[in-house]
Amino acid sequence: MSISRWTTLRRRSFGPRLALAVVLAWPVLWLVACGDSGPSKAKSGKPPANLPGAGPDGAPLGISDDDTTPVFETAAQCGKCHKAIYAEWKESYHGRAMSDPLFRELSAGVNKEECIRCHAPVNLRDSGWETPIARSDQREDAISCLSCHNANGRMAGPHQGLKGACRPVYDPQQTDVVKMCFVCHNQHDTGNEWLRGPYSPEAPEPRQRDAKTCLDCHMPEVERPLVEGFPVRKGRRHTWFGGHSLAQLEKAAKLDVVTEKLPGGGHRFRVFVTNVGAGHAIPTDARHRSFDTYVLLRDAKGKILLDPADPQQQARAHLAKFRKFYRGSGKKDTQIPPLARVDTLGEGKGYIDVPEATSGTGEAWLVYRLTPRDVLNKRSLDPGDRNDIKRLYRARVVIRLEFSFGP
């Protein structure tokens, strides 16, 4: 199905979506026990005989080609052969989608079916590439291998000619991000943000950037065997780095500062944020996430004039907030589109006038909050605490840009 058609289908609202992010499904470059249909370059030309559900020659036991009964029922069964991929998935927010503490809190202790349908979905093909329904079993596997790869009992992937106990089958739809990713990650319009942006294949001319998809950023390319001992192939990491990864956040934006003298003395400080690294708006997806800009100022002798980490000065040091606000808040969303450079989009002035700041140095801060309750304080600057993105209710200073002002 063409992206044009899917663009039309996805413009409607999908209701609540999965709470965490940042993200996205792709082929687990499969499959089990396998090489090509031709000679293998591995030590042995045969798949291992001890695969789950496999006979002496690696073939599935008692299953015909037209049997739609799943060979595997858990992600752990996949992990017996795809060890590296399984380890990445298990540590990812796909693998932890049902156990993440923030999700459990926001979903009222995982009692909301509308949340579970994206955090523990049936396989996407059974859902007809629409918002999936929730699984009734194996929910601890969260967004599992089977959610994205199960195809009528076989395991679908982007490679042709594979053989194995999981009955791998080639399916070009496995690389269609509009189908694989949008069903859950367009619940808050992230997919449509990409379609409207400069990286989409449908971006208006003149194209501002070469086309990129969700996979380019959230599933980096890697070369490795699908199964240990078999030929190396080009594939993707199953990490889905997103809003919970500080390294990914650092790639999304850059800051620049404009200072100007005030007629009555002092300076005006304006901080601009450019969305340089995301194919969608920033922040995206969950409505509880935000980026905020602040300034720290010192005089010529190094004395601090304004400190964002000081609770008494924080409100004054705050310049702008960029966020998709909660429904019913009455506030206009202030997300930054791809490649846009802005000082504010309406929530905050984007600048501050400081009459006592005649000369000195300063820092512009880009602060990420996973929830509105995330506290910005001195510990937000501690390297260890800063990188512990799993710690709830702690704001992170993603970028600190130094500058000087005055004579």
* Sign of torsion over alpha carbons 384, 388, 393, 394: positive
Q: Report residue 58's pLDDT band, with 50, 70 and 90 as the boundaries.
A: very low
Joined tokens for residue 225:
């065997």
Joined tokens for residue 131:
């918002």
pLDDT, position 207? 83
Average pLDDT over residues 103-126: 85
Asked if 153 and 68 count as a contact pair (C-beta separation under 8 A), the reply is: yes
The letter for the amino acid at 377 is N
- Is residue 235 helix, strand or coil? strand
Residues in contact with 355: Cβ distance below 8 Å, sequence separation at least 6, in sequence order: 262, 264, 265, 266
Residues in contact with 399: Cβ distance below 8 Å, sequence separation at least 6, in sequence order: 250, 253, 254, 255, 364, 365, 366
pLDDT > 90? residue 160: no
pLDDT, position 34? 43
Which tops the pLDDT comparison, 127 or 349? Answer: 349
What radius of gyration, in Å, describes the C-alpha atoms of the chain? 24
pLDDT, position 108? 75
Average pLDDT over residues 382-392: 68
Question: Which percentage of the chain shows pLDDT scores above 90?
Answer: 61
Domains of the chain are: 3-236 (no CATH), 246-405 (2.60.40)
If you write DSSP's letter for every residue of 336-349 in order, what string do you get?
BPTT-EES-SSSS-
pLDDT, position 51? 44
Please state, rounded to an integer, the average pLDDT across all residues of the chain. Answer: 83
Strand 168-170's sheet: what is its strand order?
150-151, 154-157, 168-170
- Is residue 375 helix, strand or coil? strand
List beta partners, residue 259. Answer: 269
Report the alpha-carbon distance of residue 249 to residue 17 in Å, rounded: 21
| pTM for the full predicted model | 0.82
Helix or strand (DSSP H, E) at 399: strand 396-405
Q: Report residue 66's pLDDT band, with 50, 70 and 90 as the boundaries.
A: low
Q: Report residue 62's pLDDT band, with 50, 70 and 90 as the boundaries.
A: very low
245 closest CA partner among 395, 21, 17: 21
